[in-house]
Amino acid sequence: MPDTAIAISQLSKSFQRGSRALSEVSLSVERGEMVALIGASGSGKSTLLRHVSGLTLGDRNGGAARVEVLGRPIQEHGRLVRNARCIRADVGMVFQQFNLVGRLTVLTNVLLGLLCRVPDWRGTLGLFTAAEKRAAMEALDRVGMARFAGQRASTLSGGQQQRVAIARTLVQKASVVIADEPIASLDPASANKVMETLAAINREDGITVVVSLHQVNYAAKYCPRTVAMRAGQVVHDGPSAALTPAFLTELYGADSEELIVDARPERDLETGPRGAMPEPAFAAG
Ligand SMILES: Nc1ncnc2c1ncn2[C@@H]1O[C@H](COP(=O)(O)OP(=O)(O)OP(=O)(O)O)[C@@H](O)[C@H]1O
C-alpha cells in the first residue's frame, strides 16, 4: 500500500457562470492522517473534497491536473479514469446534509455502504447476507447507534445521522473518509460526538480522515494538521496549533470571525474548564 492517501496536483475548477472555485491546488495527505480543511464560506472546501471521490471533475484545460487516491489516479485533466468506481469504493463520504435515505431503516442505510462492493443485482434487490448484516450492526455499535438499527433514518437527530453515515463508511471498508462540514448544523455536544467518532476511526482503524470545518476550534481540538483555504487556494498548511486568532486574522481579515466558534459542549460552557474532554463518542444517545 502506498504511503500517500490523497495526492492532488495543480487542480483548478471553474463553474460555468461563476468565478474560479479552485486555483491550481496541490495537496498531499498521508495514510493515517486526520486533517482539517478550513475556510470561510465559498473558499472552495466542498469543491475540493468532491474532486477526491470524482463527484466533481477539474477543468479540462488544467494541464497537469491530477487527483490520486491511495496511489491510483481517480481523475486526470478533468476526466474520470475508467476504473473510478473501484477507487471510489475506498473513499467514504459523510456530507452535511442528505446523508441518509430517510425512509429506510438505520441498518439498511449502513448496508448501503456495501453497494460499491457487492454485485449490482444484489444491491438493487437489497439482498444482504447475514454476515453483512452482522457487520453493519457491529459498525452501528461502534458509533453508539446499534439500538436505533430498526428505526427510520428520518427520525434521528442531525448528530445521530452523521454517526450512522460514519458507520456506513466502516461497512464500506473505506480507507479514506471525506467528511464535508459534518458538524455545520449541530449543537456543540453533538458536534463533539461526531468529531470524536471520526477521531476514533482514524486512531483505531488507521483510516485517513479529511474533514472540512467552518470552526477552527474543532480543527485545533481533533486534527493535528489543518489546511486553510481562501478564494480557491491553499493559504496555510501546517499544525493546527499554529492557528491562533492573530494568525487567522492575518489569513482571513474580518472573515476570521466566522471561523472562531467555541468547541466545548454546552454544559462545559456553563460550568467546566476550557478544553474539557468531549462526551464519549460511543455512548448511545
Ligand atoms: N455547482 C456549482 N455551480 C456554480 N458555482 C459553484 C458550484 N459549486 C460551488 N460553486 C462556487 O464555487 C465556490 C466555492 O464553493 P464551495 O461550496 O466549494 O465553498 P465552501 O468553502 O465549501 O463553502 P461553504 O463553507 O459555504 O460550504 C463558490 O463561489 C461557489 O459559489
Ligand 1 centroid, distance to 262 Cα (angstroms): 25
pLDDT in tens, 224-235: 999 999 999 999
- 263 burial (CB, 10 Å; 0-12 / 13-18 / 19+) is buried
Residue 174 has pLDDT above 50, yes or no: yes
Nearest to 174 by CA among 113, 104, 115: 113
The whole-number average pLDDT for the span 190-214 is 96
- Give the pLDDT confidence score for residue 274 in this predicted structure: 34
**Residues near 106 by Cβ (< 8 Å), separated by ≥ 6?**
100, 140, 145, 148, 149, 150, 151, 152, 153, 156, 164
Q: Report whether residue 43 contacts ligand 1, using a CB cutoff of 6 Å.
A: yes
Most confident segment among 84-88, 93-97, 144-148 = 144-148
Helix (H, G, I), strand (E, B) or coil at 35: strand
**Does 269 have pLDDT greater than 80?**
no
Q: What does the block give as the cell for 208?
A: 485517513
| Of 36, 41, 94, nearest in space to 218 by CA | 36
Q: In what order do the strands lie in the sheet with 79-80?
A: 20-30, 4-14, 66-69, 72-76, 79-80
Q: How far is the CA of 19 from the centre of ligand 1 (A)?
A: 10
Q: Which spans in 80-126 are helix H?
A: 84-88, 106-111, 120-125
> pLDDT over 70 for what percent of the chain?
85
- pLDDT for residue 27: 96
Look at residue 284 and tell me whether its pLDDT is greater than 60: no
d(CA 47, CA 58): 9
Given phi > 0 = left and psi -120 to 50 = alpha, else beta, which region is 135? alpha
Domains of the chain, earliest start first: 33-45+84-270 (3.40.50.300)
Ligand 1 centroid, distance to 13 Cα (angstroms): 10
Yes or no: say if 137 and 51 are a contact pair by the CB < 8 Å rule.
no
Does ligand 1 have an atom closer than 6 angstroms to the CB of 47? yes
CA of 41 to the centre of ligand 1 (A): 8
Report the nearest atom of ligand 1 relative to the CA of 13.
12
Going by alpha carbons, the residue nearest to atom 8 of ligand 1 is 47
State whether the beta carbon of 182 lies less than 6 angstroms from ligand 1: no
- Buried b or exposed e, range 147-185, using 16+ CB within 10 angstroms: ebbeebbeebebbbbbbbbbbbbbbbbbbbbbbbbbbee
Interval 114-166: pLDDT, tens: 877 665 655 565 677 888 899 999 999 999 999 999 999 999 999 999 999 99
ipTM over 0.90: yes
DSSP helix/strand/coil, 217: helix
pLDDT of residue 271: 38
Residue 17 Cα: closest atom of ligand 1: 4
pLDDT tens string 45-81: 999 999 999 999 999 876 678 999 999 999 998 899 9
21 pocket-lining for ligand 1 (C-beta < 6 Å): yes
Which atom number of ligand 1 is nearest to the Cα of residue 44?
Answer: 18
pTM for the full predicted model: 0.87
